Structure 1
């Protein structure tokens, strides 16, 4: 069970399931004490937290090194229920595993009573929309799935805000999250705390619980969501933000993040 201490939100709901599959990355280890250690990573698109359902392509899986450099992960296998990767972490510091979709634009419209779509921004769509198209709307989209792994000494290069898209920040380093201690998270859009970010917090083992123990939240003006994990284990946060946009490229913006992390024993 999760013990909530402070949640800045407009609604708080318990939920047993989500309407769509969630893509998550699950490292075998989040904290290591030996250089050159290997970890395995499971990845799946699934309805239940950390219960694999559909294997996914790992072509975009990248490893961010503690110094900020990025390398492609090449030792991968895509299975029917889950995909897997093997990764060796050479030196000390905090690494970041990430699968991210680049910024993209999706235009939907109606033609002869049918809803259709094309990949184009507002400027590009003018030459691509068929005659008679109506109810035209362009959405700017971006998504990130990530997890941090620390070898020996935690470092901060990769956990600092980059100021682009939807990001999560905290005064507690990912390697230092402990059960029975409050965790305060801030959801930022383009480097600033963002109200209206909707998310779900869940944790491993829900297959064996009558109550999945999920918490749905929506951030207030400070962009914050706080909770106290009652038990150690592996947790999942999936969050998204959607709003109208007055940019030259899109009518709406939609950002999403999926973050897995470990809570250590007190």
Structure 2
């Protein structure tokens, strides 16, 4: 089962930066916590994968090299028992503070195509720091694209706390708290790019368990002038949220385009 082309493109950029390969553009990336709402301090386990079907690990593990876990007080939480298997990555978190935790895999990098001195086409992926050393200064037909992607989810212990945005890249900015979602209720969120509202952005939401139905049943929305969109949840369960954008706000002079992507996992309760 495939999602819309922009989603596949976003997945390709993210997965490439996480170390996967082959037909990444036909798959989807996600973080899946064992639960998103806890009444008291407890441990949780989180799965991370690239898959054909939502929330089923049937293709490739998601790399955790760029994983960050932010506690309610803004401090960093170290994941424990991290493991990368054949089909998924997994890690545990000891959540001791009251409030909302933000779990995110952040990927930033460059993709370049060019011709070498012999006229042979070449491709390169890497960081801005390695660009000058690994891409020839005399490369012909050089085309460089910068990518910035965020894969995230939220978990709350006890009373929810405010989720602070970083002001960098494409971010989901909650109006309705992401751990206060209930079937039949209306929820509102916003998307920002570098801290400013992203108007006219197409957002796709898909309930999990796509393996067991014939249709994706996508929910589509478009952000308004304030970057906001709303959704009324048709059923309980885990939802995959996707948005993609591009602009010319690059940090490397050789790059002409920046591709931004966001993938989130939200839990809707009965």
TM-score range, shorter chain: 0.7 to 0.9
How big is the alpha-carbon RMSD for the aligned residues of Structure 1 and Structure 2? 2.8
Seen in structure 2, the aligned counterparts of structure 1 residues 15 and 145 have a Cα distance that, compared at 3 Å, is: closer
Contact 1:201 1:215 in 2 (8 A): yes
Pick aligned residue for 2:232 from 228, 233, 244 = 228
Deviation at 1:138, TM superposition (A): 2.2
- Which residues in structure 2 correspond to 1:37-116 (within 5 Å)? 37-53=42-58, 54-101=60-107, 103-111=108-116, 112=119, 114-116=121-123
Structure 1 stretch displaced more, 67-76 or 18-27:
18-27
The number of equivalent residue pairs is 247
Structure (1/2) with the larger helix percentage: 2
Q: Map Cα deviations across residues 193-246 of structure 1 (whole Å, 9 max, x no partner).
A: 113534431111221111121235554544233221111111111222112347
Matched, 1:197 2:201: yes
Greater RCO structure (CA 8 Å; 6+ sep):
1
Q: Distance in 2 between matches of 1:246 and 1:66?
A: 31
Partner of 2:242: 238
TM-score calculated relative to the size of structure 2: 0.80
Matched, 1:137 2:138: no
Q: Distance in 2 between matches of 1:120 and 1:176?
A: 37
Deviation at 1:108, TM superposition (A): 2.5
Q: Distance in 1 between matches of 2:250 and 2:4?
A: 34
Q: Distance in 1 between matches of 2:132 and 2:249?
A: 16
Deviation at 1:131, TM superposition (A): 3.5
Seen in structure 2, the aligned counterparts of structure 1 residues 118 and 182 have a Cα distance that, compared at 3 Å, is: closer
Q: Map Cα deviations across residues 81-107 of structure 1 (whole Å, 9 max, x no partner).
A: 222212211121111112112x33333
Deviation at 1:127, TM superposition (A): 9.4
Partner of 1:148: 154
Structure 2, unpaired ranges of 5+: 9-24
Seen in structure 2, the aligned counterparts of structure 1 residues 247 and 93 have a Cα distance that, compared at 3 Å, is: closer
Pick aligned residue for 1:21 from 27, 33, 36 = 27
Matched, 1:251 2:261: no
Contact 2:167 2:193 in 1 (8 A): yes
Contact 2:72 2:99 in 1 (8 A): yes
Partner of 2:189: 185
Matched, 1:207 2:214: no
Contact 1:61 1:72 in 2 (8 A): no
Q: Distance in 1 between matches of 2:161 and 2:76?
A: 16
